[in-house]
Amino acid sequence: MNKLITAAVAGAAALAVSVGLAAPAPAAARYTTYLSVNASPEPVTAGGTVTVAGHLKYKKQGVLTAPTPKTLTVYFDPAGSKGPVRIRTVRTSSTGAYAFKHSQSQSGTWIVKYAGASNLTSDRATDYVAARYPTRLTVNASPEPVAIGGTVTVAGHLKYTKHGRLIAPTPKTVSVYFDPAGSAGAVRVGSVRTTSSGAYSFKHSQSRSGTWIVKYAGASNLTSDRASDYVEAYERGPWNYPGRDLDCSDVRMRVWVGANDYHRLDADGDGWGCDSYAP
């Protein structure tokens, strides 16, 4: 009797296997995705526009292929903040490309995420972009003109724009150059530190006509800038002082007479006498 029962049970099990419950199908393969991102320009002027662009592709049989258009989620993580903030979503094209524009007011990281699909893995990509406030550098060299060998004062301000306001940065170093007229280029003559108000002042002798140039190299949060001012140098001489009469045949050069044209050398009233002798 036991043998009959055992045989019946075995037969039922065999029947269940043959007609019943098939083993579950293996899970579908998921292809590895590759997500890229580039935010430009780098660095960006604070408040300016960045273009966030890249591609989403997957590798199949060793070949990178664009999937059908997918939705990506974009975040921005401001430097020093508590974490990323969701900005928007963007769809890829038939080639896997995506791009959008957005303003950026502070340094931080752009993060793009793809959630994945039944046949594609998830992925994410990041790009850090520094935001710099635009600087404004001014310069005025005086007196203008200056006597050859005389001293000029090169002065101005360095400030930056934030939320529409001009603000003086912490003291910065400004480099000073002089580019003599007709020369091969500018020569560095010194440097000067700005004050807490952004002002600077630098004195130097000038022996030739030329351009004074000041440069600020920039910082992690400030753009670089430069400013220039041309100053003519004139030769000292008796034409600048009261005395005996002179004419241009005596002087034989272009000279600065200013407002006090004692010898009436300035025919056109521009402050310069004997213009016909200009080099």
Predicted confidence at residue 158, as pLDDT, reads 99
**For 163-178, what is each residue's pLDDT tens digit?**
889 999 999 999 999 9
Confidence of residue 245 (pLDDT cuts 50, 70, 90): confident
Q: What is the DSSP letter of 184?
A: S
For 198-237, how does the pLDDT look when each residue is reduced to its tens digit (9 = 90+)? Answer: 999 999 999 999 999 999 999 989 999 999 999 999 888 8
pLDDT attached to residue 108: 96
Q: Three-state SS across 34-98? A: EECCEEECCCEECCEEEEEEEEEEEEECCEEECCCCCEEEEEEEECCCCCCEEEEEEECCCCCEE
Is the per-residue pLDDT at 15 higher than 60?
Answer: no
Give the model's pLDDT for residue 184.
79
pLDDT of residue 258: 85
Quickly state the pLDDT bin for 259 (edges 50, 70, 90): confident
Asked if 206 and 195 touch (Cβ cutoff 8 Å), the reply is no
The average pLDDT across 47-53 equals 96
Contact 169, 160 (CB under 8 A): yes
Q: Read off the pLDDT band of 24 (50, 70, 90).
A: low
Mean pLDDT confidence for 38-60: 96
Residue 54 clears pLDDT 50, i.e. is over it = yes
Q: Which residues pair with 152 in a beta bridge?
A: 204
179 or 162, higher pLDDT: 179
pLDDT beyond 50 at 9: no
- What single-letter amino acid sits at 55? H
The full set of domains in the chain, from first to last, is: 33-132 (2.60.40.10), 135-234 (2.60.40.10), 238-277 (no CATH)
Burial of 8 (0-12, 13-18, 19+ CB in 10 A): exposed
The Cα 175–Cα 71 span in angstroms is 50
Amino acid at 187: V
- Mean pLDDT, the chain, integer: 89
User: Residues 123-129: what's their mean pLDDT?
Assistant: 98
Q: How far apart are CA 105 and CA 53, in angstroms?
A: 19
Write down the pLDDT at residue 103.
Answer: 97
Q: What is the pLDDT of residue 18?
A: 46
Residue 179: how many other CB atoms lie within 10 Å: 17
C-alpha span between 153 and 201 (Å, rounded): 7
pTM of the full predicted structure? 0.68
Handedness of CA 239, 244, 247, 248 (dihedral sign): negative
Indicate whether 19 pLDDT > 90: no
The better pLDDT of the pair 51, 257 is held by 51
